[in-house]
Every structure is written in C-alpha cells, then in structure tokens.
Amino acid sequence: MQEQSDEALMARVAAGDEAAFRILARRHVPRAIALARRVLRNSAEAEDVAQDAMLRVWTNAPRWRPIASFRTWLTRIVVNLCIDRQRRVSWLGIEAAGDVADPAPDAAARRETSDTARLIDEAIAELPVRQRTAIVLTYREGMSNAQTAEVLESSVAAVETLLVRAKQTLRAKLGPLFDKS
Amino acid sequence: MTDKLDALLKNHLAAGADDPGSAQRVLTALAAPLPRQRGAWRRLPGALLDWQFAPAWPRVAVLAACAGIGFVVGLGSMDYFDGTPSPFASAAASDVTALFEPEPVTGARP
C-alpha cells in the first residue's frame, strides 16, 4: 500500500481523523524532538515542545491550508515554541533554567562525552537563540536559506546575516579545533 | 576555513542520535483523548457538498406507495363528512348550553 503524503494526511486530520493524526505523529515526532533538543539543549523540554507542537497541529488542522509544506509548517511551530521557551527561561534566570534540566543520561548526553563534540555543542549553545536556530535548520535539517527564512518568518537576507554572525562567533570559539586538524 | 566549519557543523549536527525513548513517551502522551479542534465548523460546507442528496429508487418507490395508500385511505374516509353532526361538535354545544344556563335560585343569566 502506498504511503500517504503528509499533505494528504493533514487533509484527513482537518476532517477530524485521529488515525491520520497518529500516523503523522509517528512520522514527525522524532524529528521534532531532535530539532527542539538542538535548540533548547534540554531533553525534557524538547519532549514537551514536540508534544505541544503536535497538539497544535491537531487543534489548528481545520484552519490549515496547503500553502507551505506540512514539514515547514510543523518546523515553524516547533521553532516558535522553542524560542518562546528560551525567552521565558532567560527571563526567569539561569537558576530556574537549571532546575528543569533532565538529569537522566539520554542518547544525546552519551554522545557528548567526546570533548570535541562537547566543545562544539557549547559553542552552539552560547549563540543567541535565533542564530542557533538558523544554524540548526541549515546544518541539521538541511534547509535552504529561503526555507529557513520561511520558518523564522523572516527575509532571506536576515537569515544570511544570522548565519554569517553565528559562523563568525563559532569560528572564533572553535579556532583551536581547526588548528588541531 | 569556512568550508571546514561548514563540514564540521554539518557532521556534528547530523550525527545527533535520536532517542527512541523520547519519541515513545511523546507518542504515548498523544495517545490520550485529543482536545477539540478549533474551527471545526469550517468543514460543514464540505460535508454538505459531499452529502448524497439523490434518493435511491427503492426509497422513491416506498414514498410513492405511502402516498398511494394515503390517497386511497383518504378517499375511503370521505363518507364521514356526509352532513351528520360530528359527536365532538354536539358535545361542545352541550357544554356551551351548560355554561350559559340561568342561575337556579335567582334566575340571573351570566
């Protein structure tokens, strides 16, 4: 049986089809969690964001119009939720942000035992949230500048600026890695 | 150096392992009853357009049969209206008479 496209499934979800929603969720939740984890640097928060994003997909499905692809729409929801949470956490202060961290060692944490990986992760984590999001969308999701601009609800020129600034910062912080190689 | 940075970022970010446990937890949470959808009334026009209004012929046949039976029964009941007063009408008339009877002691009429 041929697999239905995301857009076809969304049309069914818009008609209140819960089975279609579950198929979409199985298809996109892992990617949404990975994206949120990369932006938020917190597994528990990333799970919350993914769940919240999928619930928004369900509740707003009747109003969805297939102008953009479903993947872009979902990415935009996830990114907006991440940016909202990041701003809320920075408003509360670093102590409050530290309390919600998941202490359980997950797959991502195990991978970061490598010093190099940790160094890169820290450098990315220190970027402003929009620059970090642009980096993650470009290098992890493989999105073009136009797609990243659509997700960030910004212009292509603004995305290019974000990427240039982010890479300048990363280059300055990761200089020793390049010297080593 | 930019190429090196690009390659480094691409390899590092792409290598992020997905945690199947996380996805399973979220999917389990989503298995709970879902909230009500917003703007669900917008699908009403579509539902009406999809509605099959054309009647099926057995239903038309049943409707015609019912109409025919109703016509025949109606014709057969016509002799009830042959000029004899209806029992309901006479009962109503006696009620009116009782209502306007003179008062037995004083003989006054209402």
Give the mean pLDDT of B73-93. 65
Cβ distance A141 to B10 under 8 Å? no
A12-29 pLDDT tens trace = 898 888 999 999 999 999
CA distance A73 to B74: 65
A178 vs B contacts (CB less than 8 Å): 1, 4-5
Cβ distance A15 to A57 under 8 Å? no
Share of residues in chain A with pLDDT > 90 (%)? 39
Cβ distance B29 to A51 under 8 Å? yes
A181: Cβ contacts below 8 Å, ≥ 6 apart = B4
Please name the residue ranges forming H helices in chain B. 2-14, 20-30, 44-50, 57-76, 87-99
* Structure confidence at residue A103 (pLDDT): 43
| Interior angle at CA A25, CA A24 and CA A28, nearest 5 | 85
* Structure confidence at residue A164 (pLDDT): 93
Cβ distance A57 to A77 under 8 Å? yes
ipTM exceeds 0.90: no
Inter-chain touch A54–B26, beta carbons under 8 Å: yes
A130-181 pLDDT tens trace = 999 999 999 988 899 999 999 898 999 999 999 999 999 998 888 777 665 5
* Structure confidence at residue A15 (pLDDT): 85
Cβ distance A68 to A47 under 8 Å? no
* Structure confidence at residue A97 (pLDDT): 47
Which residue shows structure tokens 């996805």?
B23
Inter-chain touch A107–B42, beta carbons under 8 Å: no
**Shortest alpha-carbon distance between residue B45 and chain A (Å):** 12
Give the mean pLDDT of B54-79. 86
Inter-chain touch A46–B6, beta carbons under 8 Å: no
Q: Which domains does chain A have, with CATH numbers?
A: 1-103 (1.10.1740.10), 112-181 (1.10.10.10)
Residue of B nearest to A168 (CA): B2
* Structure confidence at residue A99 (pLDDT): 46
Burial annotation A37-72 (CB, 10 A radius, 16+ → b, else e): bbbbbbbbbbbbbbbbbbbbbbbbbbebeeeeebbb
pLDDT of residue A101 exceeding 50:
no
Higher-confidence residue of A166 and B89: namely: A166
**Shortest alpha-carbon distance between residue A95 and chain B (Å):** 25
Give the mean pLDDT of A57-64. 87
CA distance A147 to A110: 31
Q: What is the largest CA-CA distance in chain A?
A: 57
- Comparing CB atoms, the residue among B17, B18, B29 nearest residue A51 is B29
pLDDT of residue A54 exceeding 80:
yes
CA distance B11 to A13: 35
pLDDT of residue B73 exceeding 70:
yes
Residue of B nearest to A170 (CA): B5
pTM across the whole model: 0.65
CA distance A180 to A175: 9
CA distance A119 to A117: 5
pLDDT of residue A76 exceeding 80:
yes
- Comparing CB atoms, the residue among A62, A111, A177 nearest residue B37 is A62
Higher-confidence residue of B101 and A10: namely: A10
Number of H helices, E strands in chain A: 11, 0
Highest mean pLDDT pick, A3-12, A19-28, B38-47, B87-96? A19-28
